[in-house]
Chain A
Amino acid sequence: MEILNAFFSAFVDSSSAAFALAAIGLGVHFGYGGLLNFGQAGFMAMGAYGFSIWTAVVAPTENWGWHPIASFLSAIVVGIIAASIYAFILGLPTLKLRGDYLAIVTIAAAEIVRFSVRTTELTPITGGSQGMTGASIKTDIQEINPLPSGQYGFWVFEAGAYDTWVRIIGWSLVAVAVVLVWALFRSPWGRVVKGIREDEDAVRSLGKNVFSYKMQVLVLGGVLGGLGGIMYILPRALQPDFFATPTTFYLWTALLLGGAATVFGPVIGAILFWALLNGVRSIIGVAHEYGFFFGLSSTQAAQLSFVFVGIALMVLVVFRPQGIFGNKKELSFNV
């Protein structure tokens, strides 16, 4: 039961929705646009910090008497703007260069962001290394929750009013993102972007402003990452160390699991990533109780789940390199 719970709750959990959003963004970058972003966690941080600082520090409800809905929506907009500006700044010097430069800059910038928000001097604004408590960032969203308190859902999917409300928002955003990506990439705009992924110079020779398209792609995927960051902190608290490099690589795992240049791939990938991770972790927990892994403490044993997920990923890459939804044909060419 415990194991099933851990496995299946990932299908509705808002963390999966948060990862799905960020993975969709990464899919826009890499799968469609061919941009190597190894710092999606940085974009998530921009969204999350933009949202949190606006809600808890600027606090329009408290200071300016705004309606909580206005405050909540404006906080999301602030998160989006923060992620966009971040994308723009990273893209400006790198998008004219070869792809590897963007990879280096994104990975470094994400760490710079994390270390910056952690500095003690910034504690009044960012909360320093402690981040911000859940209570301080949840004020508006709790206020506008239309669900009366109580339990919702059934079986392992049951949750309280607040969590259900966050789930509704999270999965609605995922739905919007999926439709958005689908609409974009069946349009001529998407065709240009996919063309750039294949060969920039060819697209340039046809009169398209490649730099501008790449910038649009970087901002779009970054904004989706920012929304993912916001959704990730809403059920818990703002923790600066969540936005470290491992998060980026979990997102890559989720993306490759589902299939990079697909609409639903990142969503299913994110769900499966959490389902497998939590499922395996809980199996190990149960096994640990029964005396397996006797040399290890329970936390050490829990870390083993990453090993198993890693192995699962390797198996996947060997037997289904295009991901669950990917098109095998696309991969069979050496382009």
Chain B
Amino acid sequence: MSKVTAADLISGTNGPGVAKKDPIIVADGVTRQFGGLKAVDVDHLEIPRNAITALIGPNGAGKTTLFNLLTGFDKPNTGTWSFDGTNLAGIPSFKAARSGMVRTFQLTKSLGRLTVLENVLLGASDQKGERFWASFIPGIWREQENANREKALELLARFKLDAKKDDYAASLSGGQRKLLEMARALMSDPQLVMLDEPMAGVNPALTQSLLDHVLGLKEDGMTVLFVEHDMHMVRHISDWVVVMAEGKVVAEDVPEDIMKNQAVVDAYLGSHHDTDLGSITGQIEMEEALQAELAEERADADTEAATDKEQS
């Protein structure tokens, strides 16, 4: 698996709102005002298709609000956006989901008094038995249900929840609920998954396996957009990083270079200019350590790819 470079994704010179070669989401002039606060104020944003894009930014930058707007869970004051070429502005959330963009929530929404397996089965799309009259005739939906069940169990195994499949979702821990929500979102094979802090509270050992899973999704042609505060994870899996601050997109770049951008440093530290600069130096040191680590990883990945090729 070779790392994507900036040139593969964007057309023209880089900057906030840069055009992508093959965008799956294109948003224009999207604003959302809460009282006097402009929580989202995005002039132009494109999300590249079949890539993993990270959306980062300080707390309150408007990331979750932007997610809500794009998926129809909130209504913007102004703006239009399209998904896969079709206009989605003003479309109700369930239709947005049906068109192939499925999201998860920062504050997990597990269906407590449904079992874990039922939660995941709900994610399946086009289940004929979900229609009122069809539900009376199991012949119509039984086969589909069995296939879904198999797929759901596979997903649950992947997310280490298979042992809990018959428990009520309300009995899961916080991290497990995050996992359940992700499994549920993936059940419909969406074109685009939008994950709002998917790894918050998830045990690091499992994080690794899930990151691999997300990378696998990309291989299968899926597009991923995720919000994350953990820069380590961002560097590890994303191809592209979009930075928001105070509602605006302030920078975009490949993960290797994003932290070198002055706008990003300002965004993260802007309000703390008077604080001890030691923490910033600390960040730079960490940055270098991460660079080294990343280079190593990439070398590993390349040799792996090489051996893969030899084998096939």
B168 within 8 A of A: yes
A191 contact from B71, B118, B168, B171, Cβ within 8 A = B118
A102-110, A167-175, A206-214, A264-272 - interface stretch: A206-214
Asked whether B125 lies within 8 Å of A207 as measured between CB atoms, the reply is yes
Residues of B within 8 A of A209 (CB): 94
Q: Does B268 contact A (CB under 8 A)?
A: no
Q: Contact at B184–A189, with CB atoms within 8 Å?
A: no
Query: Given A205-B93, A207-B94, A210-B94, A189–B132 Cβ distance below 8 Å?
Result: yes
Binds A, one of B23-31, B104-112, B254-262, B295-303: B104-112
Do residues A333 and B184 form an inter-chain contact, with CB atoms below 8 A? no
In the complex, chain B residues whose CB is within 8 Å of the CB of A206: 97, 102, 122-123, 125, 184-185, 188
Chain B residue with the shortest CB-CB distance to A331: B113
Interface SS of A by simple majority = helix
| B109 and A202 contacting across the interface, CB-CB below 8 Å | yes
Residues of A contacting B181 in the complex (Cβ-Cβ under 8 angstroms): 202
Of A188, A199, A208, the contact of B94 (CB 8 Å cutoff): A208
Q: How far is the CB of B74 from chain A (nearest CB, A)?
A: 11
A195 within 8 A of B: yes
Q: Does B170 contact A188, Cβ atoms closer than 8 Å? A: no
B34 at the interface (CB under 8 A from A): no
Q: How many Å lie between the Cα of A187 and that of B129 in the bound state?
A: 6
A203 interfacial contact with B, CB 8 Å: yes
Query: How long is the Cα–Cα vector from A206 to B98 in the complex, in angstroms?
Result: 7
Q: Pick the contact of A205 from B105, B127, B135 — CB < 8 Å?
A: B105
Q: Beyond A201-B105, A207-B94, A335-B112, is A330–B188 a contact (Cβ under 8 Å)? A: no
Task: State in angstroms the CA–CA spacing of A210 and B109 once bound together.
Answer: 15
B129 cross-chain contacts in A, Cβ below 8 A: 187-189
Task: Tell me the A169-202 residues at the B interface (CB within 8 Å).
Answer: 180, 183-184, 187-192, 194-195, 197-199, 201-202
| A199 contacts across to B, CB distance below 8 A | 109-112
Asked if A191 contacts B122 (CB within 8 A), the reply is: yes
Q: What B residues does A204 contact at CB under 8 A?
A: 73, 93-94, 97
Interface contact A190-B135, CB-CB below 8 Å: yes
Give the A-B contact count at a CB cut-off of 8 A: 109
A98 within 8 A of B: no
Interface centre among B94, B95, B114, B134 (most CB of A within 10 A): B94
Once A192-B122, A207-B98, A335-B170 are accepted as A-B contacts, the answer to whether A202 and B105 lie under 8 Å apart by CB is yes
Please report the C-alpha to C-alpha distance between residue A237 and residue B114 in the assembled complex, in whole angstroms.
43
Residue of A nearest to B122 (CB): A195
> Are B73 and A207 within 8 A (Cβ)?
no
Shortest CB-to-CB span from A215 to chain B, Å, is 10
A194 surroundings in chain B (CB, below 8 A): 111, 113-114, 118
Bound-state CA distance A329–B167 (Å) is 10
B105 lies within 8 A of A188 (CB): no
How many angstroms between the C-alpha atoms of A270 and B243 in the bound complex?
60
Q: Which residues of A are found within 8 Å of B97, using beta-carbon distances?
A: 204-207
Q: How far is the CB of B90 from chain A (nearest CB, A)?
A: 15
B164 to chain A, nearest CB (A): 14
Given contacts A198-B112, A205-B71, contact A189 B123 (CB under 8 A): no
Out of B130, B134, B170, which one reaches A208, CB within 8 Å? B130
Q: For the complex, is B221 an interface residue (Cβ under 8 Å from A)?
A: no
**Is A216 part of the contact surface with B, judged by Cβ < 8 Å?**
yes
Bound Cα distance from A250 to B6, whole angstroms: 68
Residues of B within 8 A of A205 (CB): 71, 73, 93, 97, 102-105, 109, 185
Q: Cβ of B170 and Cβ of A333 under 8 Å apart? A: yes
Asked if B15 lies at the interface with its beta carbon under 8 angstroms from chain A, I say no
Contacting residues of chain B (113-168) with chain A, CB-CB under 8 angstroms: 113-114, 118-119, 121-123, 125, 127, 129-132, 134-136, 138, 141, 145, 168
Query: Within the assembled complex, what's the spacing in Å between the Cα atoms of A190 and B188?
Result: 19
**Chain B residues near A208 (CB-CB < 8 A):** 94, 122, 130
What's the nearest-Cβ distance from chain B to residue A107, in Å? Answer: 26
Q: List 13 A-B contacts (CB under 8 A).
A: A184-B136, A187-B138, A192-B122, A194-B111, A198-B114, A199-B112, A201-B109, A202-B110, A204-B73, A204-B97, A206-B122, A206-B125, A209-B94
